[in-house]
Amino acid sequence: MQENLNCPDSEIKSTEKSICSAIYFSGTGGTKRVAKAIESSLLNRNYQVNLIAIDQSASAIHSTDELEILKKSSTAILVFAVHAFDAPEPVYEWISQIKCNDLSTAVLSVSGGGEVWPNIGCREDIIKLLESHGFNVKYEKMLVMPCNWVFKIDDNLSMHLMNEMPNKVDKILDKFLSKIIRRTNHHKGWLARKITRLEKKTASRFAQSLNVSERCISCQWCVKHCPVNNIQLVKNRPVFSNKCVMCFRCVYGCKMGAIETKNFQVLKEGFDINALETRMKNKTLKPMNECCKGIMWSGVRKYLNDEDGY
């Protein structure tokens, strides 16, 4: 059932302790790390933080406590991993159920390639929806985290991104909370829109390409952690429905490596941020310019060199 939430404006709440609601959707953990860094930075600034994960079916995520705190928030920050050069569908579903009244909002997208085509328009449509539901979007920016899609990047570069992320978060919050307005004129363009429509249309079929090997021990990890409730256990085997959003959480997260696919978008080596940190612990990192070569990583170089106005 759709729920309308009327959020009072910041002037009414000016005498209260500042509350910031940080709302995020994360597939394989990178965006969750960003959200936790935002939470940590806000707590250090003496904010009360309302951390909301869009997860386990967007139609059922609205807890009473979260919504009551959102009503009292002076600011909101939406963070999402870029899917199909756009925001993931669960984010659209979440926003569609919320009504606010001039809530000052920042929108942060997280990608593996940075602010380059075709990512540059990834926030455009979600911002339009936010504004139509009463969110006053004052700030938008891209963050970069290790890529979990198609391209395996060097572990050294991944750690440079991990190490830099909290610094970028602090810079973003410095500006957003100081009421500095940053809006871009980035538009998706017809080709990127066509790619987005095609990829989102085929995303539901991605799960149908997944195979469950004999390594499966029926632990139900994938069932419990699917963000859109797309997996059920039938006769002790995971069965995939048609609601997949291609977050790759089940493929990369299965501890037995039992969910397999030949889809080129999935890294054959897998993707695990915790494992990355473990194997790189105490290692001296190669200089960024040595592990971030080539035109493909131009957006990442620009990001790490702080050339994009943080």
Mean pLDDT of 100-129: 95
Mark which of 172, 189, 206 sits at the end of a domain.
189
The answer to whether residue 283 is domain-embedded is no
pLDDT bin (cut points 50, 70, 90) of residue 215 is: very high
233 and 126, same domain (yes or no): no
250 and 175, same domain (yes or no): no
The answer to whether residue 111 is domain-embedded is yes
Tokens representing 44?
A: 């250090």
The enclosing H or E element of 65 equals helix 64-72
Mean pLDDT of 85-103: 92
What average pLDDT is seen over the chain? 90
**DSSP per-residue string spanning 120-137:** GGTTHHHHHHHHHTTEEE
Among 104, 29, 41, 94, smallest CA distance to 67 is for: 94
CA-based Rg of the chain, rounded to a whole angstrom? 19
Please give the pLDDT value at position 109: 98
What count of other Cβ atoms lies within 10 Å of the Cβ of residue 204? 18
Q: How many domains does the structure of the chain reveal?
A: 2
131 and 181, same domain (yes or no): yes
Distance between CA atoms of residues 276 and 159, nearest Å: 8
The answer to whether residue 226 is domain-embedded is yes
197 and 184, same domain (yes or no): no
Mean pLDDT of 116-129: 94
Mark which of 134, 166, 189 sits at the end of a domain.
189
Distance between CA atoms of residues 298 and 249, nearest Å: 27
Burial class (CB in 10 A: 0-12, 13-18, 19+), 186: middle
Tokens representing 198?
A: 């095609």
pLDDT bin (cut points 50, 70, 90) of residue 232 is: very high
Mean pLDDT of 31-50: 97
Mean pLDDT of 222-238: 94
Please give the pLDDT value at position 308: 73
The CA angle 168-173-175, to the nearest 5 degrees, is 100
Please give the pLDDT value at position 205: 84
Please give the pLDDT value at position 13: 42
Q: Give the CATH number for residue 263.
A: 3.30.70.20
142 and 44, same domain (yes or no): yes
The answer to whether residue 122 is domain-embedded is yes
23 and 160, same domain (yes or no): yes
Q: Give the CATH number for residue 152.
A: 3.40.50.360
119 and 220, same domain (yes or no): no
Say yes or no to pLDDT of 64 above 80.
no
CB 79 within 8 A of CB 31: yes
Please give the pLDDT value at position 55: 84
The answer to whether residue 298 is domain-embedded is no
197 and 173, same domain (yes or no): no
Please give the pLDDT value at position 70: 87
Query: What's the N-to-C CA distance of the chain in angstroms?
Result: 40
Report the range of poorest mean pLDDT among 27-31, 49-53, 187-191: 187-191
Say yes or no to pLDDT of 200 above 60.
yes
| Phi, psi dihedral angles at 35 (to 5 degrees) | -60, -40
Predicted confidence (pLDDT) per residue in 147-196, tens digit: 999 988 999 999 999 999 999 999 999 999 999 999 999 898 898 899 89
Please give the pLDDT value at position 45: 97
The answer to whether residue 42 is domain-embedded is yes
Say yes or no to pLDDT of 62 above 60.
no
147 and 68, same domain (yes or no): yes
pLDDT bin (cut points 50, 70, 90) of residue 9 is: very low
pLDDT bin (cut points 50, 70, 90) of residue 201 is: confident
The answer to whether residue 6 is domain-embedded is no
Predicted confidence (pLDDT) per residue in 260-281, tens digit: 999 999 999 999 999 999 999 9
Q: Using a pLDDT cut of 70, give the percent of the chain over it.
A: 92
151 and 29, same domain (yes or no): yes
Please give the pLDDT value at position 16: 61
Please give the pLDDT value at position 203: 87
Where would I find the H helices in 136-271? 155-177, 189-206, 221-225, 249-253
Distance between CA atoms of residues 206 and 195, nearest Å: 16
pLDDT bin (cut points 50, 70, 90) of residue 14 is: very low
Mark which of 164, 189, 214 sits at the end of a domain.
189
196 and 152, same domain (yes or no): no
The answer to whether residue 297 is domain-embedded is no
Say yes or no to pLDDT of 4 above 90.
no
Q: Write a three-state SS string for 289-303.
A: HHHCCCHHHHHHHHH
**DSSP per-residue string spanning 11-43:** TTTTTSPPEEEEEEE-SSSHHHHHHHHHHHHHH
Distance between CA atoms of residues 246 and 198, nearest Å: 13
182 and 232, same domain (yes or no): no
Among 72, 94, 164, 149, smallest CA distance to 118 is for: 149
Domain span at 196: 190-274
